[in-house]
C-alpha cells in the first residue's frame, strides 16, 4: 500500500520508523511524493542524496547512482493502477545504525498527484460562437482561441462574405467570453481590408505583459492560391501582426512583417492557423512562437516552420523548417523535458497519420520527423496544446473524411495517447484548444450536420481524476 509523504526528508523518516517498528524494511513498503516538474525532481534527489550520505556515512563502493534526468525521460506504458509512475531502484545497503539487514528500498515517484486522467467528460453542451448567415457574412471558418491574463476568452475566425471559399472578401472577427465559454458577447471586426483576404488568425498572449499579438496573412481577394503558388498572381501572400495592450478591447493597425519571416523563394504562406505559445522554461523562456507553413517556389514542396519573438513581440524572426516536405498547417507545444513538438498536417496518403517533429533549441531547428501511429487524419488542420502535465490534441479522427472531431490526451508528452473523447460525430474540420482551469479545457471547432462549415462551436471538456 502506498503512503503519501510530502518530501524526501519525511519519506526517509517514515522509512526509518518502519524499520524500527518491524525490524526491517520489506520490498512492499512503497513511498510516494508529488513531482510537478523535472527540475523539482532533481532538487528532491539532491536532498535525498544528502540524507542518505549523512545517515549511512557512505554509499557502497559498487553502487552507481542513477541520473535523475535520465530516469525522468523513461517512458512507461499505461498501467492498471491509477497513476503513471517511474520506478527508481536506488541501492542495496547494510543498515549499520539499525541492524545488518539487506535493504531493498523502492521509491515510486508519481510525476504529479493524480497525474493520469481517469476520464474525459462533457460538462455542458457545445455552444455556438459563429454561424453561417450572421452579421452579414455567409460563412465563418478557421477558429482560434486564447485565454487572457484577466481570465477572458477571445475567439477569432475568418468571416467570409460571399461563401466558404478561401479566396475573396474575408475579414478577421472576434468574440469575447467572460465565463469560460458558456456565453459569448457581440462580434467585433478586427481587420477588414475591403474585398481582400485577411485570414489565418494566429493569436498569442504574452503572459509577462498581458499583451495580445494577432498574426495573420493577407492577399488580394482576386488572387487565388494556385496562382500565388504558380507565381502568376498580381500580388503574393503577405504576413501582418496586430497588437492589443488592453485585453483585446482594441487592436493596432496591421503591421507588415513579411520581409522578416518569409524567405525570398517562398510563395504560399500561412500563419497557424490556431494559437501560438510562450515558452515557460529553459534558456529561451518567454519566447513567443507561432507555427506556420510555406511552399517553395521552385520545387512547390510543402513545409512547416515556426516564427518567433524574443523581445515581447516587437520584432519577429524566421525559425526552423520541418526536415521533410508533404506537411503544412501545424501547431507547436512545449514538452515536459524542454523540447518542442511540432504537429503537422500530413499529405502523404500512404500513411494517413499526422506527422511530428522535435526541437531542442527553441524552434531554430527540427529533427526526428515521423508519423504518429495513433493520430489518424483525413488531411486537415489540428490543434496541439499543453495543459499542465497533459498534452492535448484535437482533430477530425478519420482517415478519409472530415468527421468525428475527437480530443485526445497524453500523460507522457505524446508517447501514448491514453484517453480520447468524441466531441462531434458528424462533419467537423478545424479546431483550436485552450486551458480554462486545472481540470477544464475548451475546444473551438468547425462543425455541422451536412458539412463541417455550418458553425463554429465551443465545447468545454472536463479532465476527471
pLDDT digits (tens, 9 = 90+) for 368-389: 999 999 999 999 999 999 999 9
pLDDT band at 115 (very low <50, low <70, confident <90, very high): low
Q: Dihedrals φ, ψ of 267, to 5°?
A: -110, -85
Q: Examine the pLDDT at 3 and tell me if it is beyond 70.
A: no
The answer to whether the CB of 324 falls within 8 A of the CB of 293 is no
C-alpha cell at 279: 515558452
Q: Examine the pLDDT at 342 and tell me if it is beyond 90.
A: yes
| Averaged pLDDT score across all residues of the chain | 83
Beta partners for 445? 431, 457
The answer to whether the CB of 220 falls within 8 A of the CB of 235 is yes
Q: Examine the pLDDT at 13 and tell me if it is beyond 60.
A: no
Task: Kindly state the average pLDDT of the residues 85-95.
Answer: 34
Q: Dihedrals φ, ψ of 434, to 5°?
A: -150, 145
Distance CA 397, CA 403 (A): 7
Least confident of 104-113, 132-141, 201-210: 104-113
pLDDT of residue 219: 98
Distance CA 375, CA 224 (A): 31
The closest of 226, 236, 148, 253 to 197, measured between CA atoms, is 236
pLDDT of residue 42: 52
Which contiguous run of DSSP H or E holds residue 261? helix 258-261
Task: Kindly state the average pLDDT of the residues 7-28.
Answer: 41
Residue 45 or 28, more confident: 45
pLDDT tens across 29-81, in order?
333 334 444 444 455 555 555 554 444 443 344 444 444 444 443 333 333 23
Cα–chain-centroid distance for residue 52?
Answer: 39
Q: Examine the pLDDT at 131 and tell me if it is beyond 80.
A: yes
Task: Kindly state the average pLDDT of the residues 20-26.
Answer: 38
Distance CA 432, CA 411 (A): 19
- Give whole-number Cα distances, 287 to 57, 126, 283, 410, in Å: 45, 33, 9, 24
pLDDT tens across 285-297, in order?
999 999 999 999 9
pLDDT of residue 118: 75
Give the whole-number percent of the chain exceeding pLDDT 90: 74
Q: Examine the pLDDT at 105 and tell me if it is beyond 70.
A: no
Instruction: For 54-80, give the DSSP string.
Output: HHHSS--TT--PPPHHHHHT------S
Task: Kindly state the average pLDDT of the residues 423-442.
Answer: 98
Domains and CATH numbers, the chain: 2-110 (no CATH), 119-464 (2.120.10.10)
The answer to whether the CB of 402 falls within 8 A of the CB of 378 is yes
Amino acid at each position: 500500500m502506498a503512503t503519501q509523504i510530502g518530501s524526501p526528508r519525511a519519506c526517509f523518516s517514515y522509512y526509518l520508523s518502519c524499520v524500527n517498528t518491524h525490524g526491517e524494511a520489506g520490498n512492499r513498503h512503497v513511498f510516494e511524493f508529488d513531482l510537478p516538474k523535472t527540475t523539482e525532481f532533481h532538487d528532491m534527489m539532491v536532498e535525498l542524496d544528502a540524507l542518505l550520505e549523512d545517515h549511512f556515512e557512505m554509499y557502497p563502493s559498487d553502487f552507481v547512482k542513477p541520473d535523475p534526468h535520465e530516469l525522468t525521460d523513461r517512458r512507461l506504458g499505461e498501467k492498471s493502477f491509477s497513476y503513471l509512475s517511474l520506478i527508481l531502484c536506488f541501492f542495496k545497503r547494510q543498515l549499520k545504525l539499525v541492524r545488518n539487514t539487506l535493504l531493498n528500498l523502492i521509491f515510486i515517484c508519481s510525476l504529479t498527484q493524480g497525474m493520469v486522467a481517469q476520464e474525459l467528460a462533457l460538462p455542458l453542451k457545445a455552444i455556438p460562437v459563429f454561424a453561417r448567415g450572421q452579421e452579414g457574412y455567409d460563412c465563418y471558418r478557421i477558429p482560434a482561441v486564447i485565454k487572457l491574463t484577466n481570465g477572458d476568452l477571445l475567439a477569432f475566425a475568418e468571416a467570409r462574405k460571399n461563401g466558404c471559399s478561401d479566396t475573396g472578401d474575408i475579414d478577421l472577427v472576434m468574440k469575447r467570453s467572460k465565463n469560460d465559454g458558456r456565453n459569448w458577447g457581440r462580434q467585433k471586426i478586427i481587420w477588414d481590408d475591403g474585398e481582400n483576404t485577411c485570414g489565418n488568425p494566429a493569436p498569442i498572449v504574452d503572459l509577462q505583459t498581458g499583451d495580445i499579438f494577432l498574426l495573420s496573412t493577407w492577399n488580394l481577394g482576386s488572387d487565388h492560391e494556385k496562382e500565388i503558388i504558380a507565381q502568376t498572381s498580381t500580388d503574393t501572400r503577405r504576413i501582418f501582426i496586430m497588437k492589443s495592450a488592453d485585453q483585446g478591447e482594441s487592436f493596432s493597425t496591421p503591421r507588415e512583417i513579411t520581409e522578416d519571416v518569409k524567405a525570398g523563394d517562398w510563395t504560399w504562406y500561412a500563419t497557424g492557423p490556431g494559437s501560438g505559445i510562450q515558452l515557460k522554461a529553459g534558456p529561451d523562456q518567454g519566447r513567443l512562437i507561432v507555427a506556420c507553413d510555406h511552399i517553395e517556389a521552385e520545387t512547390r514542396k510543402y513545409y512547416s516552420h515556426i516564427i518567433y519573438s524574443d523581445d515581447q513581440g516587437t520584432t519577429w524572426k524566421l525559425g526552423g523548417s520541418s526536415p521533410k516536405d508533404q506537411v503544412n498547417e501545424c501547431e507547436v507545444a512545449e514538452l515536459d523535458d524542454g523540447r518542442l513538438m511540432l504537429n503537422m498536417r500530413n499529405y502523404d496518403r500512404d500513411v494517413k497519420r499526422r506527422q511530428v517533429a522535435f526541437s531542442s533549441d527553441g524552434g531554430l531547428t527540427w529533427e526526428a520527423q515521423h508519423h504518429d501511429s495513433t493520430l489518424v487524419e483525413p488531411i486537415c488542420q489540428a490543434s496541439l496544446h499543453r495543459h499542465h502535465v497533459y498534452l492535448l490534441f484535437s482533430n477530425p479522427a478519420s482517415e478519409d473524411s472530415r468527421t468525428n472531431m475527437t480530443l485526445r490526451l497524453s500523460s507522457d508528452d505524446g508517447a501514448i495517447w491514453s484517453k480520447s473523447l468524441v466531441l462531434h460525430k458528424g462533419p467537423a474540420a478545424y479546431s483550436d484548444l485552450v486551458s480554462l482551469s486545472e481540470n477544464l479545457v475548451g475546444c473551438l471547432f468547425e462543425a455541422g450536420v451536412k458539412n463541417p462549415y455550418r458553425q463554429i462551436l465551443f465545447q468545454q471538456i472536463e479532465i476527471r481524476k
